[in-house]
Amino acid sequence: MRRFLLAAVLAAAATPAFADEPIVLRGMGSFHVGGRVVEVSGKPVKEVVFSPGGVPAKLDPNGLYQVEGMYAQYFLPQNRKGKYPLLMWHGGGLTGVTYETTPDGREGWLNMFVRKGWDVYVSDAVERGRSGFASPDIWQGQPNFLTKAGPFERFRIGDGPGSWNADPAKMKVLPGNQFPVEAYDNFMKQNVPRWTTTDTAIIAAYTALVDKVCPCVLLVHSQAGGFGFKVAQARPDKIKGIVAVEPAVAGDKAQAANLKNIPTLVVYGDYIATDSRWPKMRQIGLDYADAVRAAGGKVDVVNLPDVGIKGNSHMLMMDKNNKAVADLIGDWLARQGLTE
């Protein structure tokens, strides 16, 4: 396995840059799936001027609300090579923007996998981005907001707590880090508020997405590791492969056998051993992988520094070597017979 991966990395390095080639699509678009209708009653009617200078409208908050739907955008290459759609699910506090352009303006994994011939579906989890969120009359709990220091110190860009500084010259970036630190503020603009009480709604919506567009391959990151494994456990016949990129959460070990026919790749970046939280988070993923293997499943785990890909933060799809990681994943998918 390791020998193959090394060969794949070397082959990828020899692949010519393709960013100048046009992207030819047989279709692109978006849709919403899932959600439910909830009734709110007993609230007073308001009069709202939606825009200064506009005409007042009566806003009756009582009635039926369409909530917890989920947005997905798709890009279908003309020269299709992936046997199934590839669904990209983002991590916590983020949206599908994770997979588009990098914060410093290079192509993201969406473009790269479309160029490889995959039908790609990028979604925003319930509550995030274009999926919207429900009112406090409907949802318990409050959203959390992240300071500029938060992801810098937790996503292995900086060297842990205290490493972020408003003065870039005083930031303690991990040595050799591949994250485009100069564009960190753009990354923070991508961050959106996140609830911690919406997992059930998010999993229901991802399941609705799978029911609509699968059989498919899942590519999940961070928080979406948990969503991906759990939805795969619920719909094992519809998931033909899973790529879990630094899953922060795993599935239910008691149901690990449900994944025994789904080839799975788990990828971790650099600096994990010396981080305050990531050794434990990686162990959660490794334990789950062991449970799937014990049930007869196939899980490949790649720690990128072991195959010569060094310096990756938690945001591997944005790192300066994001193409090398995409190529490793693309080659693994091909080896599973998921391309034609």
Residues 167-196 that bind a second copy (CB under 8 A): 185-186, 188-194, 196
If DSSP codes are grouped into helix, strand and coil, which group holds residue 306?
helix
Asked if 96 interacts with a second copy (CB under 8 A), we say: yes
Taking the least distance from each CB to a second copy, the nearer of 145 and 308 is 145
Asked if 219 interacts with a second copy (CB under 8 A), we say: no
Number of residues engaging a second copy in binding (CB under 8 A) = 107
* DSSP, res 339: B
* Distance, CA of 35 to CA of 56 (rounded, Å): 30
- Binder among 86, 88, 97, 220 for a second copy (CB under 8 A): 97
- What is the torsional sign of CA 115, 120, 125, 131? positive
Asked if 83 interacts with a second copy (CB under 8 A), we say: yes
Q: Which range of residues in 88-96, 255-263, 265-273, 324-332 is near a second copy by CB under 8 A?
A: 88-96
Taking the least distance from each CB to a second copy, the nearer of 111 and 313 is 111
Q: Which range of residues in 129-137, 258-266, 305-313, 315-323 is near a second copy by CB under 8 A?
A: 129-137
Asked if 143 interacts with a second copy (CB under 8 A), we say: yes
Asked if 27 interacts with a second copy (CB under 8 A), we say: yes
Asked if 23 interacts with a second copy (CB under 8 A), we say: yes
Q: Which range of residues in 18-26, 256-264, 296-304, 307-315 is near a second copy by CB under 8 A?
A: 18-26
**Residue whose token pair is 């049930």:** 295
Q: Which range of residues in 76-84, 292-300, 313-321, 328-336 is near a second copy by CB under 8 A?
A: 76-84
Could you say which residues in the range 229-258 bind a second copy, by CB under 8 A?
A: 240, 248-250
DSSP string, 162-229: T---SSGGG--BPTT--S-GGGHHHHHHH---B-SS-HHHHHHHHHHHHHHH-SEEEEEETHHHHHHH
Q: Which range of residues in 48-56, 261-269, 290-298, 309-317 is near a second copy by CB under 8 A?
A: 48-56
Asked if 154 interacts with a second copy (CB under 8 A), we say: yes
Could you say which residues in the range 271-310 bind a second copy, by CB under 8 A?
A: 277, 280-281, 284
Phi and psi torsions of 211, nearest 5°? -65, -25
The torsion of the CA quartet 273, 304, 269, 103, rounded to 10 degrees, works out to 150
If DSSP codes are grouped into helix, strand and coil, which group holds residue 299?
strand
Q: In what order do the strands lie in the sheet with 120-124?
A: 70-77, 120-124, 86-89, 216-221, 239-245, 264-268, 299-303
Name the token pair of 4. Answer: 């193959």
Could you say which residues in the range 306-335 bind a second copy, by CB under 8 A?
A: none
